[in-house]
Amino acid sequence: MLILVAATLGVLSALVLGGSARRLAELPVRALWLPPAALVLQVVIIEVVPDGLPALLSAIHIATYVMAGAFIWLNRSIPGLLLVALGAVTNGVTIALNDGTLPARANALKAAGLPINPEGFSNSGVRAHAVLPWLGDVFAWPVPLPLANVFSVGDLLIVGGLTYGAHVICGSRLARRAPWLASADEPAQPGRRARRKAMSAA
């Protein structure tokens, strides 16, 4: 939930900074059902049937990242999605190498008020001899802050990619003022020196 809220706030920041909601609404997106379906599956295995067959729950967890990857590939031309893809791959590979669970740092779980050794299936938890542990949930959004939870480098990349893409697509003031954020159909304005050079050439 923490990452979903952070991503939503990132997208909304583009609108707050003068971006066009219409441009975002008119964006052609393929297979839009894939991310919600993956999210529903994650909620089911974590909240509804955490005591199910561990191998099956782990396989479903990995499958949700495959679904997210398919969505990103189909829409790879959308600004920001390559950064989102990097985050999803980082999380997905780490989860796959750790039998369906993203390894977490014990101190991060403690700071977030989460159990270190939860009963049943958990999408994130402390693992002995974890593979790529630095790519796991090593950061904490601590209690008593709302939505206290742990998060990973991949999560930061996903939120950053969505925020970047929203600003570029919506044409926010930030995107218009930063040349490296300018959208393709609204190129950055040339600097003062470039304008003087163009005028003298004319």
174 or 180: which leads in pLDDT: 174
Per cent of the chain over pLDDT 90 is 63
Give me the pLDDT at residue 197, please: 46
Give tens-digit pLDDT for 120-154: 777 889 988 999 999 999 999 999 999 999 999 99
pLDDT at 187 over 50: no
pLDDT of residue 181: 56
- pLDDT exceeds 60 at position 168: yes
Q: What is the DSSP string of 124-169?
A: EE--TT-SSGGGSB-EEE-TTSTT-EEE-HHHHHHHHHHHHHHHHH
**pTM of structure:** 0.80
Does pLDDT of 17 surpass 90?
yes
37/35 Cα distance (integer angstroms): 5
